[in-house]
Amino acid sequence: FDVLAEADPDIADVLLGEIDRLRGGLQLIASENLASPAVLAATGSALSNKYAEGYPGRRYYGGCEQVDRAENLAVERAKALFGAEHANVQPHSGASANLAVYAAFCEPGDTVLAMSLPHGGHLTHGSRVNFSGQWFRPVSYGVAKDTELIDYDQVRDLALTHRPKMIIAGATAYPRLIDFAAFRRIADEVDAVLVVDAAHFIGLVAGKVIPSPVPYADVVTFSTHKVLRGPRGGMILGKGEHAKAIDKAVFPAIQGGPLMHVVAAKAVALKEASTAAYASYAAQVVANAAALAKGLEAEGMRPVSGGTDTHMALLDLNQRATGAQAEQRCDRAGITLNKNAIPFDPNPPMVASGIRVGTPCVTTQGMVESDMAEIAGLIGRAVRAGGDDELAAVGADVERMVADRPAYPRS
Ligand code: PLP
């Protein structure tokens, strides 16, 4: 850090500011985590310099013997941890992993069936503002109005009607388990490729606390920085029969040189995620999310679908505030979370009627169920707060709460 502070005090100041922000508040964004110092060390390393287009043993550049070792370790660890026949660890992000999958299995104009954005799907699942909705023909399924669970009858009806080339299971704001076997049956019925976008929950699969999509899906895509607690990046697991198509789609179809520092950091994260300590962490993430959802229910919010099986909960604010207001008020009290549309939301996405909360960060900080009850109370107070004084009082309580368990404690 001293080297950076000397070379570029402005950026050093940004780093310090961000560390202070993390240490002084509660991070409840469901898609974020606090990567370990070892993961950060690999990410900020000299491996960043190396060009390594291609794959280990067949690169387009010399001098790849060290980065080859890193990539082989990442691939072997991913295959072992998830029981996958093939792993590609080069995608720069979750969105890049998904783009590669479209490139591997679809032609422009092909029909793809995936979860609708307003019901929790990701931009890469067919949104009009994304390549997936512009270059392909998206058909969307959603959740049933009464249960707020994925409507598998609707998925099947749409699949039979539209005969998609590819079906994507997985979402960005869906707190429940997904029935991968049901998706497999539907995909088989219409001869579609089944992709599971496991970006949000792959860390829980690594920790063996929720079922794995790997036995069911043709390929599984994910980002590596969410519950999994790796560096920012993406990954694709798959059946051996798709290995060639996936590797060709990642490079040379959609990417150039892989980020070898990030590939190395992915290897570190996969090693960490293979430990008993990580399995306990993943179990605590889920227990904490359930406790947080329950606590927020006691604060007058309604957990969408009645609760959660994962690391996140989606809360209907019951019109006590809009999602945007809740996000802003919490922000001013040092609680970082995001507004989120709820299924069949009458408000536009930038306003939204709900919030999404996740427990990966606070669980990394060592918090448990009793802390979640306290956090729920703080969120409730912030959302109800009438003015600056009340928000400042909540903020002071947040600081008190995190003081003995800050993110990145000073050693
Ligand atoms: N897929 C899902 C389900 C996601 O939730 C996200 C990100 O939140 C992505 C893909 C994209 O990941 P990235 O932001 O790394 O591109």
DSSP strands (E only) in 133-274: 137-141, 166-169, 193-197, 219-223, 234-238
What CA–CA distance (Å, rounded) separates 157 from 190? 11
Q: Considering only CA atoms, which residue is closest to atom 13 of ligand 1?
A: 94
Ligand 1 pocket, residue 124 CB under 6 Å: yes
What CA–CA distance (Å, rounded) separates 403 from 23? 8
pLDDT at residue 288, rounded to an integer: 98
What CA–CA distance (Å, rounded) separates 217 from 21? 39
pLDDT at residue 1, rounded to an integer: 84
Expressed in angstroms and rounded, the spacing between residue 196 Cα and the centre of ligand 1 is 12
Ligand 1 pocket, residue 353 CB under 6 Å: no
Q: What is the mean pLDDT of the chain?
A: 97
pLDDT at residue 410, rounded to an integer: 85
Expressed in angstroms and rounded, the spacing between residue 199 Cα and the centre of ligand 1 is 6
Tally of CB atoms within 10 A around 319: 9
pLDDT tens digit sequence for 13-71: 999 999 999 999 999 999 999 999 999 999 999 999 999 999 999 999 999 999 999 99
Pair 336, 29: CB distance under 8 Å: yes
Q: Considering only CA atoms, which residue is closest to atom 1 of ligand 1?
A: 199
pLDDT tens digit sequence for 338-391: 999 999 999 999 999 999 999 999 999 999 999 999 999 999 999 999 899 999
Expressed in angstroms and rounded, the spacing between residue 95 Cα and the centre of ligand 1 is 6
Q: What is the ipTM of this complex?
A: 0.98
Q: Helix %, strand %, coil % for the chain, to 5?
A: 50, 15, 35
Ligand 1 pocket, residue 170 CB under 6 Å: yes
Is the pTM higher than 0.90? yes
- Has residue 411 got a pLDDT over 80? no
Ligand 1 pocket, residue 94 CB under 6 Å: yes
pLDDT tens digit sequence for 252-261: 999 999 999 9
Q: Give me the half-sphere count of Cα atoms (radius 13 Å) on the Cβ side of residue 199.
A: 28
Pair 300, 355: CB distance under 8 Å: no
